[in-house]
Amino acid sequence: MFSAAISEDDLIDLHGKVAILTGGNTGIGYATIQMLARKGAKVYMAARNGERAKEAIEKLKAENINDGSVHWHSLDLSDPRAVQRSAKEFLEKEERLDILINNAAAPAGPFKLAEDGISNMMVINHISHFVLTETLLPLMKATAKEPGADVRIVNVSSSMHARVQPTTFATKDAFNSDHHSWEEFMDAYGTTKLANILHVKALQTRLNAQATAITCIALHPGAVKTAGLQDALGGHLGWFLTACLTTLFFKSWRSGAMTVAFAAAGKKVADQREKYRGAYLVPTAAIAIPSRSALDERLQSELYESTERFVTEMGL
């Protein structure tokens, strides 16, 4: 499902608003930060590598972010404990948070378990973003109570979520997809991206039950030519074939970021919040129906409850 082209003119004014996006020193996250800052937002680039983040911020300033601003916030998604510490540090910096975009994803690499017995890819793509969201949620709830507030949580997922049809998320083993071949890697990645959608839907259900005015959206940004994608494909298909494929069939950062920016700050979302709460978007900014697994309320509850349990076992 596709909609007519949209632009930055379709985004709300963000002066006085605060946003945080994970990743962002390149690719979709970079372009999204630029769009939000151009609309006046104070945007935090939450990333592990401070040097790369600061280089990206200087580049953003040179490319014009109007009167918005961009700041680095240290965040290491490979360690949920460090994520919680980072989120608490953010709470000391800011008195409001209007937009949280869980954008970063694990790069391609061999299967390995993190110290808590969950795959590194699942930790980075889901568990750590869950911890970040839960830690920042009280501030977002407080912001949502202010007059004229429009608070949003956005999970950047992928159409790859439809590759998998898990029967449960009730056990730790269900979070771990061993992968050695390219096909197995894509299934493992798809499982983490399914988790991103299930997380949004379960969280939206909980917030609705609490009468909390926060809009949660998951999305597929489209096939975008990013460094992470090229590394993943290059290692399996060869660099020449990868270059040909990404040039012919993959979109630019900005094109992919438009759906993310719309989810975070689109005027239509502000005008039709009930319609967009818990929605899944595809390029460009169109509501679509995700996989059957993503719509499974049992899987939504199991994922949320299991993640809470694992996080508690980590002492968080």
User: What's the pLDDT at 37?
Assistant: 98
139-156 pLDDT, tens digit each: 999 999 999 999 999 999
- Catalytic, 54? Answer no
Give the domain ranges of the chain.
8-313
43-94 pLDDT, tens digit each: 999 999 999 999 999 999 999 999 999 999 999 999 999 999 999 999 999 9
Lowest mean pLDDT among 89-98, 157-166, 222-231: 222-231
* Tokens 């096909």 sit on residue: 183
User: What's the pLDDT at 40?
Assistant: 98
197-218 pLDDT, tens digit each: 999 999 999 999 999 999 999 9
- Catalytic, 119? Answer no
| Third-level CATH fold of 8-313 | Rossmann fold (3.40.50)
Lowest mean pLDDT among 33-37, 58-62, 199-203, 248-252: 248-252
SS3 category, 107: coil
- Catalytic, 30? Answer no
- Note if the bond before 26 is cis, omega within 30 degrees: no
Rounded average pLDDT over 229-233: 50
Amino acid at 78: S
Mean confidence (pLDDT) of the chain? 90
Amino acid at 263: A
94-127 pLDDT, tens digit each: 999 999 999 999 976 777 888 889 999 999 999 9
Query: Which contiguous run of DSSP H or E holds residue 282?
Result: strand 280-282
The active-site residue out of 30, 44, 189, 280 is 189
The active-site residue out of 157, 158, 177, 293 is 157
Task: Read off the tokens for 37.
Answer: 């800052």
The active-site residue out of 17, 39, 42, 193 is 193
